[in-house]
Chain A
Amino acid sequence: MEIMERFEIDVRRSFSHFSFHPFERRIYSHDISVLPSFVEKMVYSQADVIIQPRNVEEVKEILRLSKEYSKPIVPRGAATSGYGGVIPFNGGIVVDFSRMNGFEIDEDLKLVIAEPGAIWWDIQKAARKRGLSLRIYPTSAISSTVGGWIGQGGIGIGSTMFGDIKENVEWLRVLDFQGEKVVEGEDLRYYVGMEGTTGLIISSAVKLMDAAKEIPLAIEVESVGNALKVFGKTKPYSAILMSSEFFRLMNEVKGSDFKEKDTLVAVYLDEEPKIEGFKYEEASEIWKDRFYPLRIKKKGPSLVSVEILLPFEALEAFYGEARKLEIQHAIQTYFSRGEANVIVLIPSDEREKRFTQDWKKAFKLLKIGLKLGGKPYATGLYLSHLSKKVIQHFDDLLDFKRKVDPQNLLNPGKIFPKGRLPMMLKIAGLII
């Protein structure tokens, strides 16, 4: 019997929720990114099977099958990221955690203990009922999963006060080929932001805070430096700088009437700071829209984007360069502690030739960001050739990866470059 046949029989015997259907495999083999077609041809492949485990025992069985048949494992949350982290470019098993979506709130310890498929906003709604709240959450919280964001890492709403997701994880339970582990403290760096390359997160304890009244304020700012000065004087829970172009595009697609000025939106908890001019009546409306930056995709209908983590001192120069782009674009900057995530969104059209040109401009911005001391928000699959340069303690992480996953079956090609693809993508980046 062929190996694939035996594999299929084993899957059918072990799981109740799986799919070998070609279209289902296709659907679960992409994320939200859309790349120029010649790049997509390089990276897109198809999973062998999609499995939706219901419990830890089934995740263990997936690991067993992976080892026995040398099938890569690609964990998947809501696939709302765009770095190719969930793309099974070597085929294998896509593990969709949507059926492991339970969570419990520990009111005494102010923690949520969540399965990987739990949705951030479902947690927030439940936490609110108990007088608690998430400290941080991604702007995609309405649909994105706990496992997905911890796996990718990063900053979000609330990071101005509470830092990145790693700082908000108390502990993780992970599974790898050796078994189950509880990870906490410094060791979290081996898993948070590692895209499931070192183990599968099966449970996470994420820190909560007492629920507080959110007071969004907004002020027009003349420069990024001005924005930093304004929010630096206070202690906002969250601070986002939105460019005039962002509001222009939002007004066009939404029919809203936001002032088309660079605007700092800062959110305070319980107490409103007393700063002159810092109270723009549309702040609440802008704050409500925090989950919908992708609305401007309607202008496209496609969107090209680049996300760069920059030190505060590099922001002014980066904005200057971005504004030299002779192209319609919007910028949103999310401030964390000491660094900011700058997102440049370019409405485009994947059906037209200009799509490749727009990607070229996005890559140019990425290079400028790197020169200014920044790093990509994530490396995933597409930017794994940059990992060694931009990820702290990369060699240590690589040693760890080799130790826990000697066959490189855990989401291969993500974070840690594999084969010729990273070089091809690097070249593609130079071409487009």
Chain B
Amino acid sequence: MSEANFLKNLSDEIYACAQCNYCRVCPTYKIEKWESVSPRGRLYLLKLMLNGSKIDSVMLKDFFKCTTCGLCENICIVDIPLLELWEKARNWLTKVKGPLPAHKKLADNIGIHMNIYGEDRNLRDAWFPDNVEISDSETLFFAGCTASYRVREIAESAVKIFSRFGIEFNYLGRDEVCCGSTLIRTGQKEKAERLVEKNIKIWERNGIERVITTCAGCYRTFALDYPRICEERGIDFNFEILHLSQFIEREAGKVIKDGMKAKLKGRATYHDPCHLGRHAGVYDEPRELIKASGLELVEMEHSRENSFCCGAGGGVRAQFRDLSLEIGKLRLEEALQLNVDYLISCCPFCKMHLSHSKKVSGLERNDKPEILDISEVVLKVLNENGF
């Protein structure tokens, strides 16, 4: 599609921007403080392009500094569907200009190894504990790339929880394929579509009806992007998609709350992953589980719909590492103000990035807050009770 035609289709949204700057809440803008990276600046750039201006490499990079966290959409006074707009624009810019180097690398890694990290596909299931059984259940546990290769304790905790509650589940091991979230977020939707088809075929072949994941990015992609892409491509999509926190709360929340006499002690705050919270509207289940574990839950200044991104999303961690860590530090500072023992999230990518942000903030591994995933919290309380 030509520049003019593509942008014309978005013209109503682009012109609707009131330039009110309420989107100054943008995490990237908070760090960089240049309007070219702010939502209103990016909309102004699109408006200029709509009127014939050409984008250069500096502006192209600025355009991709967005973590696609969606906070701008949440605050936008004229209700511009900004998340969708950023993704469409990124997709188009990538077609015209090619992906940014780190984003291309992600796609190459997936193309060769089926994971974003370029790790050996044969090691994808290396985290799987020996004493947990896989069945041919119609319920699939999808670990995702980050929990499979980088934050394995999350995947491990999840399947141990299933095992302790006697929940039968299937796991595809080395046959598990990246969900494609990063590709969609970085403007490489067409490449992601191949993964959609691949995953669906594997699921169908294994009789899967329900997919449970610990990863907020995978969840968002399966729950929101897959049905949309399938509809566009005329593919049936008949799967129930659940985040681990939803599933555990539904299946075992009451047991954890009332049946587990030994409770965890301490003060915790919850970081809403953008993909799970603002994008998909899952706010309560993780909080219920934290409370059920016995931890005192306190909220950060930015929570739920107004939650502040960890800084990793949208390909920012891959392409703009320093910026992403600076954003992560801002989030960490909010937790530090609350003097909490635990900063709990529901996403391996958030946990990994917040942990790295903690390290670059000069805090020691043992310093508070300890960064945990909800799966680890639930497993801790089960362990406390010898369950």
Query: Which residues of A pack against B, CB within 8 Å?
Result: 17, 19, 21, 23-24, 26-28, 30-32, 52, 78-80, 98-99, 119, 140, 142-144, 253, 291-292, 294-295, 297-298, 300-303, 349-351
- Is the C-beta of B202 less than 8 angstroms from some C-beta in chain A? no
A98 to B53, CA, bound (A): 27
Interface of chain B residues 29 through 70 with chain A (CB within 8 A): 33-36, 41, 44-45, 48, 53, 56, 58-59
Instruction: State whether A142 touches B16 (Cβ < 8 A).
Output: no
Q: State which of B20-28, B213-221, B313-321 sits at the interface with chain A.
A: B20-28
Q: How far is the CB of A400 from chain B (nearest CB, A)?
A: 31
Quick one: which of A19, A28, A143 contacts B21, CB cutoff 8 A?
A143
- B238, CB-defined interface residue at 8 Å: no
Question: Is the CB–CB distance between A297 and B78 below 8 Å?
Answer: yes
Determine if B19 is an interface residue (Cβ-Cβ < 8 Å). Answer: yes
Complex CA–CA separation, A74 to B44 (angstroms): 20
Indicate whether A23 sits within 8 Å of B78 (C-beta atoms), given known contacts A78-B21, A300-B15, A302-B15.
no
30 A-B residue pairs with CB within 8 Å: A19-B34, A21-B36, A23-B53, A23-B58, A24-B34, A24-B35, A27-B36, A27-B44, A30-B44, A32-B19, A52-B33, A80-B20, A142-B20, A143-B21, A143-B24, A253-B78, A292-B77, A294-B18, A294-B77, A295-B77, A297-B18, A298-B79, A300-B15, A301-B12, A301-B13, A301-B16, A302-B15, A349-B15, A350-B15, A351-B11
Question: Which residues in A have their C-beta under 8 angstroms from that of B35?
Answer: 24, 27-28
- In the complex, are the beta carbons of B16 and A17 less than 8 A apart? no
B residues near A350, Cβ cutoff 8 Å: 15
- Selected from B16, B33, B41, B48, the residue in CB contact (under 8 A) with A297 is B16
Q: Which residues of B contact A349 (CB under 8 A)?
A: 15
Q: From the candidates B18, B36, B77, B79, name the one contacting A23 in the complex (CB within 8 A).
A: B36
Q: How far is the CB of B35 from chain A (nearest CB, A)?
A: 5
> Within the assembled complex, what's the spacing in Å between the Cα atoms of A253 and B20?
17
- Contact A298:B16 (CB < 8 A) given known A19-B34, A23-B59, A78-B21: yes
CB-based contact B21/A80 at 8 Å:
yes
**Cα separation A291 to B18 with both chains bound (whole Å):** 13
Chain A minimum-CB-distance residue to B16: A301
Bound state CA distance, A144 and B24, in angstroms? 10
Establish whether residues A32 and B20, one from each chain, have CB atoms under 8 Å apart when the complex forms: yes
Contact B20 A294 (CB under 8 A): yes
What sequence of 0s and 1s flags, for each residue 256-296 of chain B, a beta carbon within 8 Å of any chain A beta carbon?
A: 00000000000000000000000000000000000000000
The answer for the CA separation of A31 and B19 in the assembled complex, in Å, is 8
Judge whether B21 and A17 touch: CB under 8 Å. Answer: no
Q: Which residues of A contact B33 (CB under 8 A)?
A: 17, 52, 98-99
Closest chain-A Cβ to B256's Cβ sits at a distance in Å of: 36
Decide: B20 and A140 in contact? CB cutoff 8 A: yes
